[in-house]
Structures are given as structure tokens and as C-alpha cells.
Amino acid sequence: MDARFFAAWMTETAHAVAAARDELTRLDAAIGDADHGTNLDRGFTAVTESPPAAATPREVLTAAGTTLIRKVGGASGPLYGTALRRMGAALPDTPEVSLADLAEALTAGVDGVRRLGGAAEGDKTMVDALAPAARALTEAVRAGASPEAALDAAMSAAEAGAKATVPLRARKGRASYLGERSVGHMDPGAASTSLLLAALRAACGPGSPGAGSGPAGPA
């Protein structure tokens, strides 16, 4: 995977967030500030409107994360921005990276979000979707799965993690103030995280830029 692939991932994410903006805002209205969809839409639009002259995957993700932190208010900007910046920092500073590199970077992104927000799985946050996705991708890489199959596994794990937040009681963030009233609603951060992973899978589709024979690139 090269810089074009990661730029395509950000573009796919921007499109997915724009399409789901109202739904994300509806989810956030139930247990938050009702601004998750509009905030993320603004942030990822800014990422794609002013793409950096990046030569490496590390530079693409670092720049995207920095833009989100600067452009998005509330918790979404810092959390998503930190995830992408930590992913970028974890990637080798080379023109192309492997699928194994991506798995390690996604794990680093999870760690960054956990440290910043203090959330663990089961707290009804984006971690409930992001952490299972990172594990699924790592396990698929270790099993020798194809890039498409590995990213399918990560996407499915994120979707399942997001759905699993519905019966949970929130223990972090504004939703935690609602107590039992937070039960029965999907966490908007977990929902948007599942979009991020679906966009990553879409960027790996046939003919995707910078993917070569798939996003694995050189081993």
C-alpha cells in the first residue's frame, strides 16, 4: 500500500460519513450532543479538500489526523485525530507498507484512543468497534489471509462491535451521564468507526489506487 491507497481510504471515509451524517447525528441525539455526524462530516471533508503533498502512508495519516484535531470540535476530533496520527507514527517511513504494517498501526491507533479517552471495551465508545477490528486484522494477517479477506474480517468485527454497544450502559463520555437511559442505543462513535473500517475495505477494491495486487504491497 502506498500514499495513494491511504489517500483513497480517507476519500472513501469522507463519502461514507457524508452519506451517514444524518444517521450519526440521530444516534448522537439520543445519548450525546447531536453533533457527531456534522462534526465528522466537516472534518473528513477538510481532510479531502486540502490533501497534503504526502509521499508516504505515514505522512497521509499523520496529516489527516492533524486536520481532524484542528477542524473538529468535541471529542470526535481529538479521538479520531489521535487514532490516525498514532497509526501514521507506527507505520514505517517508506513509500509502501505491508498489510502486517497496517495491522500493527491499527493496534497503535486503538492504544492511542484508549489512552486519550480512558475507555476500555464494554464502555460503549468507539473502542468497542475499533479494538475488535484491530484484533481481527492482526489474526487474519497471522493466518496468511489475502488482503481482501483480512480487511473483510476487520470490517465485520467493527460492525459487530458497533451493534454490540446497543445493550450496553455507557461508562465514558457524555452518554455516561444518562445512566440506564443510555441502554438501547448504538454508540455513535462505534457506528462511525465501523464506517471507517468499511471505507478501508472499499479502498482495497479492484482497481483501487496504490493497492497494486492488494493493499499488502511488499511483504
The CATH code of the domain that includes 183 is 1.25.40.340
**Cell numbers standing for residue 179:** 445512566
| pLDDT in 10s for each residue of the chain, 219 residues | 999 999 999 999 999 999 999 999 999 999 888 889 999 999 999 999 977 677 899 999 999 999 999 998 778 899 999 999 999 999 999 999 999 999 999 999 999 999 998 999 999 999 999 999 999 999 999 999 999 999 999 999 999 999 999 999 888 776 776 778 779 899 999 999 999 999 999 998 765 556 543 333 322
Whether 53 is covered by a domain: the verdict is yes
Whether 208 is covered by a domain: the verdict is no
Whether 217 is covered by a domain: the verdict is no
**Per the structure, how many domains does the chain have?**
1
H, E, C per residue of the chain: CEHHHHHHHHHHHHHHHHHCHHHHHHHHHHHCCCCHHHHHHHHHHHHHHCCCCCCCHHHHHHHHHHHHHHHCCCCHHHHHHHHHHHHHHHCCCCCECCHHHHHHHHHHHHHHHHHHHCCCCCCCCCHHHHHHHHHHHHHHHHCCCCHHHHHHHHHHHHHHHHHCCCCCCCCCCHHHHHHHHHCCCCCHHHHHHHHHHHHHHHHCCCCCCCCCCCCCCCC
Whether 213 is covered by a domain: the verdict is no
Whether 16 is covered by a domain: the verdict is yes
Among residues 193, 191, 205, 219, which one has the least CA distance to residue 29?
Answer: 191
**The domain containing residue 165 runs over which residues?**
3-203
Whether 211 is covered by a domain: the verdict is no
Whether 165 is covered by a domain: the verdict is yes
